[in-house]
Chain A
Amino acid sequence: MVSVYRQEDHAFEVDRETLIQGLREVLAPDNLLVDDEAMRPFECDGLSAYRQMPLVVALPSSIDEVQAVLALCSRLRVPVVARGAGTSLSAGALPHPQGVLLSLSRFNQILSIDERRRLARVQPGVRNLAISEAAAPYGLYYAPDPSSQITCSIGGNVAENAGGVHCLKYGLTVHNVLSVTMVTMEGELVTLGSEALDSPGFDLMAAITGSEGMLGVIVDVTVKLLPHPPAKEVLLAGFADVETAGNAVAGIIAAGIIPGGLEMMDNPAIRAAEDFVHAGYPVDAAAILICELDGNPAELQDQLDKLRILLDRLGSNDIRVAKTPEEQASFWAGRKAAFPAVGRISPDYYCIDGTIPRKRLAEVLRRMQELSDQYGQRVVNVFHAGDGNLHPLVLYDGNVPGEFDRTEELGGKILELCVEVGGTVTGEHGVGMEKINQMCVQFPEAEITQFHALKAAFDPHGLLNPGKAIPTLSRCAEFGGMHVHDGQLPHPDIPRF
């Protein structure tokens, strides 16, 4: 276990008995957990290296209850951490030692599907995939499709601005959610956005999307649905070396082709996936690209022809177009099973999530390999290449002393590399607790201060998810992140070594 909260993050004065008594008054008896055993499943999210028991777990089943819990916590100055399905890979849903873990899992109803207007209104605990399943009979679906879509909740998706394999063409959560109703820390109910294409005032939907549970608790979500494309083609291209594959990604986009999905896997990922699901991948290829094109049939054929010629020119030595829907599914199956497949070849793995400009892909892949050699930890790559969103998986064995620490340090170096080439420390998994130190590398003091001010506009007492997403300045001072701004270090006159 990693001790992650800092002194200043848990300087609240909370009396557990008063809190429990207050919660008993506002929650139905089944909706409050106070025993360690019952609370244990909530001590971590998808990043299980970070664990923390909360004071209590609240499982409200109505909006009234959510409002009452928040109003109470606001009055008693008790921290609150919202939790959806708990699949966050950045410890965003990690409980607070002095706080209430507020699970939205009981809000699991699809409230309406408006087939004609292509809108779905759902409760926040509804699983991402369940929306597309409910819309499927009408030929519709919800576009953002994180790999965790069987499990993760739409509330968590909004909170993380989740992405998926189809985001290059169809956008992230922020492009596909129209409106949310949330409960403020004071317990007030407010609706942001609308079913129209814009709303008066500031774009608060932009502020709330990706806000990691720091601004309000989402209790109702309206999303836009899209029609299933009338036709699609899936193509797999093998490459003899990783850098050529990286350059091909930039080349495809440069040619004006915007695929529905464009994913890349390196050799260890290809082998792991092939052993696991027998997708028919070329196991000798150094890297493969999986490319999905969609649209109306007439346009699609043109694009496919263009893409084949292009990939050949960009150095692919093995181009396959899936001939049947079954073959299309199997090309994707390996990619979709890549994480569990990697789980079979290593006792543990750590998933990193940085985004870089596409043109730096080849270089970054090479430098990650150098880092991997230097730290002696293997790195497997399977990622959203079209978006430049990397997911290096660092393999380690948690039972070997020192391996996790080395892995974390290597992960940090990879993220710093992403920032160095003009990218970001997180493309879609969020900062949470995990990447909070790297935020000090990406942002100077003024921006961090501005972020805190923005948060205070929604949550003046800093009770929602304290200690996450935006580092305190004292944390940055201690972490010693030196932000290189426009190629200039702050205080260039001070000698460094």
Chain B
Amino acid sequence: MSGQDISHDLAARVAEASQSGTALTIHGSGSKTFYGRASRGETLAVDGHTGIVNYEPTELVLTARAGTPLAELDEALAAEGQQMPFDPPRFGGGTLGGAIATGLSGPGRPWLGAARDQVLGLRLINGRGEHMRFGGEVMKNVAGYDVSRLMAGALGTLGVLTEVSLKVLPRPEAELGLRLNLPVMEGFSQVEDWFRQGFPVTGAAHDGSHLHLRLSGSQSALQAAGQTIGGEHVAEVANWWSALRDQALPFFEDADTPLWRVSLPPLTDSSGFDGPVLHDWNGQQLWLRGARDAAALREQAASLGGHAVCFRGGDQEDAVFHPLAAPLQTFHRRLKQAFDPAGILNPGRMYADF
């Protein structure tokens, strides 16, 4: 298939950097450089490592090189009536490697799974410049530790991803978008009940005034759901939900103030978070606009069993992610040491100390 394989060059660059102790900043398409802490070092461009390596619609598996644009994957999948269920944010671009390294998932996350859930295997270059393969292209595989899923969300600090195999799924026959006049918590509780009744919920967000609901499935299922649930039918459903996913709704417009993300357990009362809030994931992912007292916000999220990230627009020299409990810090440091002993891969991108 198309694309080019520059993995030998990439591995050689990493091996060299490891010898000389040169820090490397792994760069895909640059669509998510705002995310995480600023990392220092020379740029290691992965966007030249492209192409779909294997796509077997009947196997529900797609394998592509890490620099492959998400748009190219979308196109190939759409031609076969399939999709990536975790629906990564595209932010106007994005590569497969970046999508997995950040581990971000779209609005369907609570029902369709996360990036890590759909990773079946991958290849990576560790901090020594060794090109390795973990997992595979089959649905079930418990040979060795699950290094592939460990890479999802590790922000490239444990390895340069070069190739990823994903589980893909058929696209639903149809989608239905509804807008309902329900308060936040009552709305989310309702959504839970509709889900339990077997309605194919794939999105539930609240903008402070309305509950937005997305259902995906067969025409017959959507018709049945629509009749029971009621509300106002939204035309061009896909547009609103992709705008939510890519932070293109008016709520996200003021790019000058920080945007915080709070992750919460299911059906958590989030009324204590004030200021402009947009609720996604049926209340499990909150977007908070505006400068906040980081310590207070983190404490508030933690007291509810969640955590808070300064998602964009904050100080990237400062702490971005929620601090780790002491024993977890030890595991993180030792894992970093295990994969990247010289500490050259995206140093500081996740936490300042590695």
Contacts and interface: CB of A to CB of B under 8 A. Distances in A.
Given A298-B220, A388-B139, A201 B324 contact: yes
B305 to A, nearest CB: 5
B34 interface: no
Interface in B190-228: 192, 195-200, 217-218, 220-221, 223-225
Contacts of B148: 206
Contacts of A192: 328
Interface stretch (A42-50, A165-173, A338-346): A165-173
A201 B338 contact: no
Interface stretch (A73-81, A251-259, A406-414, A487-495): A251-259
B272 interface: no
B117 to A, nearest CB: 5
Contacts of A469: 144
A206 B331 CA distance: 13
Nearest to B329: A201
B352 interface: no
Given A195-B305, A254-B58, A258-B169, A355 B141 contact: yes
B90 interface: no
B38 interface: no
Q: Could you say which of A161, A250, A298, A388 has the most chain B C-beta atoms within 10 Å of its C-beta?
A: A298
A230 B327 CA distance: 43
A295 interface: yes
A454 B335 contact: yes
Interface in A441-476: 442-444, 446-447, 450-451, 453-458, 460, 469-470
B126 to A, nearest CB: 6
A116 B323 CA distance: 29
Contacts of A202: 150, 153-154, 158, 331-332, 335
A16 interface: no
Interface string B128-151: 001111101111111111111110
A427 B223 contact: no
A18 B191 CA distance: 59
B50 interface: no
A250 B58 contact: yes
A29 interface: no
Contacts of B332: 201-202
Interface string A195-212: 111111111101101110
Interface stretch (B40-48, B237-245, B252-260, B261-269): B261-269
A358 B327 contact: no
Interface in A202-243: 202-204, 206-207, 209-211, 214-215, 227, 229-231
Nearest to A429: B142
B29 interface: no
Interface in B295-335: 305-307, 309, 321-325, 327-328, 331-332, 334-335
Contact of A203 (B61, B103, B198, B327): B103
Contacts of B56: 357, 359
Interface in B100-135: 103, 109-110, 113-114, 116-117, 126, 130-134
Nearest to A457: B334
A344 B107 CA distance: 51
By size class, the interface of chain B is 35 or more
Contact of B152 (A195, A203, A301, A355): A203
B339 interface: yes
Contacts of A171: 113, 117
Contacts of B57: 254
A227 B195 contact: yes
A447 B335 contact: no
Q: Could you say which of A160, A200, A424 has the most chain B C-beta atoms within 10 Å of its C-beta?
A: A200
A334 B190 CA distance: 40
Contact of A184 (B158, B196, B327): B327
Interface residues of A, number: 93
Nearest to A162: B142
A292 interface: no
Contacts of B200: 295-296, 299
A496 interface: no
B198 A457 contact: no
A347 to B, nearest CB: 29
A27 interface: no
A400 B284 CA distance: 60
B221 A359 contact: no
Given A188-B327, A206-B152, A430-B142, A454 B147 contact: yes
B229 to A, nearest CB: 12
A453 B263 contact: no
Contacts of B147: 450-451, 454
Nearest to B138: A355
Q: Could you say which of A215, A429, A435, A443 has the most chain B C-beta atoms within 10 Å of its C-beta?
A: A443
Contacts of A455: 145
A311 interface: no
A483 to B, nearest CB: 11
B146 A453 contact: no
Contacts of A384: 140
A408 B133 CA distance: 28
Contacts of A139: 196
A58 interface: no
B152 A196 contact: no
A295 B149 CA distance: 29
B334 A198 contact: no
30 contacts: A116-B267, A184-B327, A190-B331, A191-B325, A195-B265, A196-B263, A196-B264, A196-B284, A196-B305, A197-B109, A200-B321, A203-B116, A203-B153, A203-B154, A227-B198, A251-B58, A296-B200, A302-B220, A355-B139, A355-B140, A387-B140, A424-B138, A424-B143, A426-B142, A430-B142, A446-B130, A450-B338, A451-B144, A453-B339, A460-B334
Q: Closest 5 CB pairs between A and B?
A: A206-B149, A296-B198, A195-B265, A457-B334, A256-B170
